[in-house]
Structure 1
Amino acid sequence: MPLALLALAVGAFGIGTTEFVTMGLLPDVAADLGISIPSAGHLVSAYALGVVVGAPLLAAATARMPRRKVLIWLMVLFVAGNALSALAPDEHWLLAARFLSGMPHGAFFGVGAVVATNLVAPERKARSVSLMFLGLTVANIAGVPVATLMGQHFGWRVTFLGVSAIGLAAIAALALLLPTEGAQAGRGSASGSASAGLRGELTALRSLPVWLALGTTVAGFAALFSAYSYITPMLTDSAGYAETSVTLLLALFGVGATVGNLVGGRLADHSMRGTLFGGLTSLIVVLSLFPALMSTQWSAALAVILLGVAAFITGSPLQLMVMEKAAAAPSLASSANQAAFNLANAGGAWIGGLSLAAGFGATAPAVAGAVLAVLGLGVAGVAYGVDARRAAAPRAGQGRVVASYVPGEAETVHA
């Protein structure tokens, strides 16, 4: 695999660290700023909102720029947002800084995925995307625990300065390792052309298969976050773990996510649709077994690992599917997939919370997640049916005049 993928993984590592570390530092931030922990929790929402807003906005605004330059400037914005977070004098400034920190998140992964696939042969595209996402999953193993310990011992502001330093390392890696030809190749390859611009990017979002792929992302990852958002009370109330053990167990989730991401990327290069169906089915099974698995400590630890594996098997095929469905101009659609991921984060946590508040028990969010995974599998099945009908249409039209239209090209007629 090209060394340039390492530069993308470094950026993903920084983004993954800043996204999840805030959750572990909420008590420290609240105490320092003199606010309640629920108020400090708004910082997580501000970051997620920045992702949802920034992903399509920045991808659209930079549609005509070389992708290498786009990635570097996105990391500059990332560094600025985290540095401002460290220097924020009060809650309101910190909320604005976290929103700014989240804005480049979705666009970086979206544009980065397009660049990654253009650095490798067609039969290794999914693997290249999984290697970029490797930085995100490794962040849950090493970046988040280390950054959390830094914040607890030296202050939460030091943590955000440390994340800014990771961003600076990513900028240097992108500038040194990412070839200009790789970014330019993306504009002239099957993934799109520079002439597509903003209009071509927006046209790509009018496609039903793109929206079905995004819908699969929302439902599938909402299933994950319905359970993962409440994994701590499951581990403490159901499995009997002490709260001090939770950090180590969450690192096990990162191990599972890393394994699932790598396996999913390799399998998706052989069968993208099969890997997606298999991953969603595995997620349904794992979440359905959570009530039983959370009954003992050893099986609860196994459940955390399996959750990471099953959920992240689908990451690469979903990202690649969105890009292929929007092949004329994939950057905006690819970035929109990251916005869908964060909508899944918020929606899944909300649905899981409803099941918990209803009094169905500590493992109820996992059962709700299984239902969401079934929904995701259903949407994926509908998408498969739509693709099958579209593929059959030209064969059914043999012998008569059939019109076909490709965005950005003149309408053609085939006999």
Structure 2
Amino acid sequence: MIAMNFVKTMKPGLLTLTLGGMVVGMTEFMMMGVLPDVASDLAISIPSAGHLISIYALGVVIGAPLMTALTSHYRPRIILLSLMGMFALFNILFALAPNYGLLLAARLFAGLPHGAFFGMGAVVASRLAEPGREARAVSMMFAGLTIANIAGVPLGTWISHTIGWRYSFLVIALIALVAAASIRKWMPNLSPSTQPGGFGKSIKVFGQLDIWIIIGISSIGTGGLFAWISYIAPLMTAVAGFSSGSISMIMIVAGVGMAVGNFVGGRLADRFSPLKTTGALLLTMVGALLIVSVVSYYKAPAIVMTFLTGAIAFAVIAPMQMLMIRAAKGAEMLASSALQASANMGNALGAWLGGLPIAAGYGYTSPEYVGAGLALTGVIFCLALARQQKMPAPLPAGKKVIHSPLKETAGEIGR
């Protein structure tokens, strides 16, 4: 039934977004699977190699508002085509870079188109969807991320172990070129989606406190995922005792969990409020990461928790997306891009903070405690947002409260 619904929703234009989402997912998550190979090839430590994860996230943070501002007046097909071209170019440069400094630079630039692609892609998906199916259409784009983790990242990890990690990123570049060709062929030539007033008016949405709390939830709360998955390869080999050749299959298990979580999270957000769902899932993530730190010494429970933790982590995506969209009426594209940027701040924060206790000698289970703390901070932000939303909205500037017995009486009747 799920597969039938997926096929029914997949118009050719949406399929191009799914393929593009897969490229973005592979670019972002491939480093997690090949991290030991990169560290060994460059003769650097695992935490130093982890900086290649963090620097990509920094590129997303920089690129989300920058690329949105530069491209907002162009037609969506041109924007998406150009962004896929950037992914192809900078993955090629990363694969060919001869030293650590140039690798860092290539990863930084590879992150620039990430947020803008999902920001524009979300707007395009909703415009291509049949009435009443907009949210499902948007979820199809994010399904590309789960496909990347089920198929793309394990394939790249296998290539890394058998041929070399640089070839893994050349494969990403090839898929990006295929995605660009599909966008050129199948994406309808929609009109620009610039809001009245343009980028200058849209950016005013960041004057709302709600937006910043949601950014806090995303940038800190999602750090729990990246503190875990950034170091999943050494965790499963050095602690659980799996061979390095098993990492591809382990990444598939994580990817399947993410796919299930992406599906379930959207349904939970529809049934309950996005805020309650986000808070509950982040709290569940705290418990999951603490369990991972305990059971990762044993192969079977380590695999089970890989699936469950991946599912919980990706179940948060749809509820957080709905939180931002509802809070940013009239500036959805910019807000969606900002959400991607904030999530990648969580990527950078989780990868960096997770590497600190490893560097200090506390072992490969120590990042899970860091991740649990980050997820718990996200829960606290959810509570703050719930409190903020219960407060009465401020009056527009220049408006005064006029106390009138007649108006007060009318107000009581209206309530």
- Choose which of 340, 347, 350 in structure 2 pairs with 1:348: 350
* Residues 178-219 of structure 1 deviation map (CA, whole Å, 9 limit, x = unaligned): 3234x65xx3xxxxx532312022212222111111111112
The yes-or-no answer on 1:79 pairing with 2:93 is: no
Q: Does the CA-based 8 Å contact 2:50-2:352 persist in structure 1?
A: no
Q: Which residue of 2 aligns with 1:259?
A: 260
Structure 2: how far apart are the matches of 1:70 and 1:400?
54
Q: Greater CA deviation, 133-142 or 275-284?
A: 275-284
The yes-or-no answer on 1:164 pairing with 2:173 is: yes
Q: Which residue of 2 aligns with 1:104?
A: 113
Q: Which residue of 2 aligns with 1:241?
A: 242
Secondary structure at the residue paired with 2:53?
helix
Change in CA separation of 1:179 and 1:320 when aligned onto 2, cut-off 3 Å: farther
TM-score w.r.t. length of structure 1: 0.83
Structure 2: how far apart are the matches of 1:359 and 1:77?
38
Q: Does the CA-based 8 Å contact 1:2-1:120 persist in structure 2?
A: no
Of all paired residues, the percent bearing the same amino acid is 42
Change in CA separation of 1:82 and 1:352 when aligned onto 2, cut-off 3 Å: closer
Secondary structure at the residue paired with 1:64?
coil
Residues 286-297 of structure 1 mapped to structure 2, 5 A cutoff: 286-297=288-299
Structure 1: how far apart are the matches of 2:285 and 2:161?
34
Q: Does the CA-based 8 Å contact 2:51-2:351 persist in structure 1?
A: no
Change in CA separation of 1:80 and 1:365 when aligned onto 2, cut-off 3 Å: closer
Q: Which residue of 1 aligns with 2:287?
A: 285
Q: Does the CA-based 8 Å contact 1:277-1:377 persist in structure 2?
A: yes
Q: Does the CA-based 8 Å contact 2:54-2:349 persist in structure 1?
A: no
How far 1:337 sits from its partner (Å)? 1.4
Secondary structure at the residue paired with 2:350?
helix
Residues 114-263 of structure 1 mapped to structure 2, 5 A cutoff: 114-120=123-129, 123-181=132-190, 184=192, 187=193, 193-263=194-264
Q: Which residue of 1 aligns with 2:313?
A: 311
Change in CA separation of 1:380 and 1:165 when aligned onto 2, cut-off 3 Å: same
Letter of the structure 1 residue corresponding to residue 189 of structure 2? T
Q: Which residue of 2 aligns with 1:190?
A: none
* Residues 45-103 of structure 1 deviation map (CA, whole Å, 9 limit, x = unaligned): 44233222111110122222233322121112222222333444555444333322221
Residues 32-43 of structure 1 mapped to structure 2, 5 A cutoff: 36=44, 42-43=51-52
* Residues 348-380 of structure 1 deviation map (CA, whole Å, 9 limit, x = unaligned): 123333445566664332233222222111111
Q: Which residue of 1 aligns with 2:382?
A: 380
- Name the count of aligned residue pairs: 390
How far 1:344 sits from its partner (Å)? 0.8
- Choose which of 55, 62, 74 in structure 2 pairs with 1:53: 62
Q: Which residue of 2 aligns with 1:413?
A: none
Change in CA separation of 1:63 and 1:204 when aligned onto 2, cut-off 3 Å: farther
How far 1:282 sits from its partner (Å)? 2.1
Structure 2: how far apart are the matches of 1:43 and 1:256?
25
How far 1:121 sits from its partner (Å)? 5.7
Q: Greater CA deviation, 225-234 or 215-224?
A: 225-234
After superposition, the CA RMSD in angstroms is 3.0
Q: Does the CA-based 8 Å contact 1:114-1:323 persist in structure 2?
A: no
Structure 1: how far apart are the matches of 2:246 and 2:364?
18
Q: Greater CA deviation, 155-164 or 132-141?
A: 155-164
Structure 2: how far apart are the matches of 1:357 and 1:94?
21
Q: Does the CA-based 8 Å contact 1:126-1:268 persist in structure 2?
A: no
Change in CA separation of 1:67 and 1:287 when aligned onto 2, cut-off 3 Å: same
Residues 390-405 of structure 1 mapped to structure 2, 5 A cutoff: 390=392
Q: Does the CA-based 8 Å contact 1:68-1:180 persist in structure 2?
A: yes
Q: Which residue of 2 aligns with 1:408?
A: none
Change in CA separation of 1:307 and 1:172 when aligned onto 2, cut-off 3 Å: same
Change in CA separation of 1:226 and 1:151 when aligned onto 2, cut-off 3 Å: closer
Change in CA separation of 1:21 and 1:369 when aligned onto 2, cut-off 3 Å: closer
Q: Does the CA-based 8 Å contact 2:157-2:248 persist in structure 1?
A: no
Q: Does the CA-based 8 Å contact 1:127-1:269 persist in structure 2?
A: no
Q: Which residue of 2 aligns with 1:9?
A: 18
Q: Does the CA-based 8 Å contact 1:2-1:119 persist in structure 2?
A: no
How far 1:228 sits from its partner (Å)? 2.3
Q: Greater CA deviation, 120-129 or 11-20?
A: 120-129
How far 1:309 sits from its partner (Å)? 0.7
The yes-or-no answer on 1:337 pairing with 2:346 is: no
TM-score w.r.t. length of structure 2: 0.83
Structure 2: how far apart are the matches of 1:248 and 1:106?
29
Change in CA separation of 1:376 and 1:159 when aligned onto 2, cut-off 3 Å: same
Structure 2: how far apart are the matches of 1:359 and 1:44?
21
Q: Which residue of 1 aligns with 2:277?
A: 275
